Amino acid sequence: MGLEQAWNVFAPEPRRGNPHLTAIVTYQDGTSKLWTYPRMERLDFFTKIPKERYRKFFDDNAAWSFPMVWPDIARYVARIHYAEKDNPPILVTLTRFSSDILPMEAGLGKPNLPQSDTKVLGVYEITAKDLAGVKPK
């Protein structure tokens, strides 16, 4: 019914990490491209507002859990990078970069740690079926 609800906002504790995801798209000819979504910390005040769903999808959810959406993300990234009919994307590698947020005793007055912890979430093969119906850009 859509009436289920949970209001554990920042509870029992706020998220303790800063993540971002990247995807490396590998083409048939061996070349590759790096992709990331609109990251809030790089956007201006006004652009952030309509793009906040990316933050929710990637930074709150897909970066940490919900592995069922990772193949979909890979397929989506492959589709938007499908530029030449004779050189389609064949692999997408999803990687999470993150850093822990220091506890207050250690972090007060210091900048956040760089997002340098790396974890490969998956390497996904892209098939012709995944690109069906997409016109090369």
Partner 1 sequence: MSIFTILQAWDRFWFSEVSPLSVAVYRILLGFLTVAFVLLLIPDLFVWFGSQGICSNQAVADWNNGHAVFLNLFSFCPDNDQFLVAFHFVFFLAAVALMLGFHARWAATICYLCLTSLYHRNPFIFNAGDTYMRVSTFWLIFAASGNALALTGRKKRANPQGNFNDYKKVSIWPLRLLQIQLATVYWHTFFCKIVGGPWIDGTAVFTASRIEDLQRLPLPYVFEHAWTINFLTWSTLGIEGALFTLIWIKEFRYWVIAFAVIFHLTIEYHMNIPLFEWLMIVSYVLFIEPEHLAFALTWLRNKFTKQNVTAL
Binding site for partner 1 (CB under 8 A): 1-3, 5-16, 18, 20, 39-41, 45, 48-57, 59, 61-62, 66, 68-69, 71-73, 76, 79, 101-104, 107-109, 112, 133-134
Q: Which is nearer to partner 1, 12 or 30 (CB)?
A: 12
Q: Which pair of tokens denotes residue 75? A: 């397929």
* Dist. CA 41–CA 58, nearest whole Å: 13
**Closest approach of partner 1 to the CB of residue 117, in Å:** 14
Q: Which is nearer to partner 1, 55 or 96 (CB)?
A: 55
